[in-house]
Structure 1
Amino acid sequence: MNTNLKRDRYSIIVYPSPLIRYYIKGLKNILAKRVGWYSSRNSEAHITILEFDAFESELAMAIRYTKLFCYAQKQFHVSFDKIVNSHINTCVFALPDESSKPNLNKVLKMFRKNFKGINVKFGTNAHISIARNMNDKQLNSVDNIFDEIDLNFECDTIAIRKLNSMKGQFEVIYQFNFLGYPPIEGQLDLFE
């Protein structure tokens, strides 16, 4: 008998290509050499759509919803061209260029629209976090080490991650590719 009465924490993300994940890991390594440890140090590159809590039985609905969403979603090209050191938000992140931003934010908004879950927390506008919860000294020491970037990839995958409480990190447990098929009538209405 399963005595786990606590819901697990999950996140649903846009999952960039392995090459982009490797590149962001390199930026994180450069940053760590400059400032030491920081939040998100070991997190793989991703664009957060949302986070939620669920029992395993409730997770099945999130998996089904994600599969149906990806079934009808067409892949598209995105570019990230800017790194921001935000003293207000105490973080460093990459931003999509002006032509990619509307498409990425549209996908995030469409996915969030019908998603139902427990303790759902929506991400913000599309970005790739490099570091979070940095102190002023750390942020001041990274000003101007990252200028412009030129990241290009096909936005074609959504992943579901589960929080590994021992590591304090989310780990990918499912991946779904955008298939671009015509939507099945009412397919996402099931979740409203």
Structure 2
Amino acid sequence: MEKTYSVVFYSKTLVEPIKKMKDFLRSKIDWYNSCNSEAHITICEFTIEESQFDSIKQKLSKISDGFTPFEVSLNHFSSFPTSGAFFIGVTKDSEKKLVPIMKKIHETLKFLKLKKSDNPHMSIGRRLTPENLKIASELFTTIDLQFECNEIVLREFDPVVKQFFVMDSFPFGSNPEPEFVQGSLF
């Protein structure tokens, strides 16, 4: 049976503050896409047969062992007006650390049909109308959050609840693989 999964950056410390923001927005505009989704930064999403699950977990475990933990700072609100997304953006310094990890994971899972994210951000709402985007941008003007990025998380989509739930986490092991250098015999 096929199931849908996502790989994300996730921090338990941000779940509650982001939930409060989403609940506040919901009190102003009613239900909206991702109002019940826990705080995360999406890396990619894919659908696989259950038989592939253990192989994917092994690949994620191996790759995450090579990453070193670092601090991520989220410091501004922004939106993607064409898709109706309202989100919290990361600092340039955090982006420089997150994007290479995202690309490495995309490369590792390239044999899958991935829905990739190349722009690290934490969604507050998705598919908002232009009016609701305006309301969100008026409600939320300043932000300053941090979290220790020390793992990647694999989540499974529950089609009944229509939410992703954490299945497994893969801690960063600070064990980068040595870069292969092509030598010369002569």
Shift of 1:184: 7.4
1:13 is aligned to 2:8 = yes
Equivalent of residue 133 in structure 2, options 139, 143, 147: 139
Shift of 1:49: 0.8
Shift of 1:81: 0.2
Return the letter of the residue paired with 1:23.
P
1:52 is aligned to 2:54 = no
Report if aligned partners of 1:53, 1:117 keep a CA contact under 8 Å in 2. Answer: no
Shift of 1:110: 1.5
Return the letter of the residue paired with 1:108.
M
Report if aligned partners of 1:71, 1:180 keep a CA contact under 8 Å in 2. Answer: yes
Query: 1:112 aligns to what SS in structure 2?
Result: helix
Unaligned runs of 5+ in 1: 187-192
Separation (CA, whole Å) in 1 of partners of 2:52 and 2:60? 13
Unaligned runs of 5+ in 2: 181-186
Percent of residue pairs identical:
29
Separation (CA, whole Å) in 1 of partners of 2:99 and 2:164? 22
In the superposition, the TM-score normalised over structure 2's length comes to 0.90
Report if aligned partners of 2:103, 2:118 keep a CA contact under 8 Å in 1. Answer: no
1:104 is aligned to 2:74 = no
Return the letter of the residue paired with 2:125.
A
Report if aligned partners of 1:52, 1:117 keep a CA contact under 8 Å in 2. Answer: no
Number of aligned residue pairs: give it: 180
Query: 1:10 aligns to what SS in structure 2?
Result: strand
Query: 2:144 aligns to what SS in structure 1?
Result: strand
Q: Deviating runs (4+, > 6 A) in structure 1?
A: none
Equivalent of residue 145 in structure 2, options 140, 147, 151: 151
Equivalent of residue 67 in structure 1, options 40, 43, 61: 61
Shift of 1:74: 0.4
Return the letter of the residue paired with 2:92.
E
- Partner in structure 2 of residue 170 of structure 1: 164
Return the letter of the residue paired with 1:54.
I
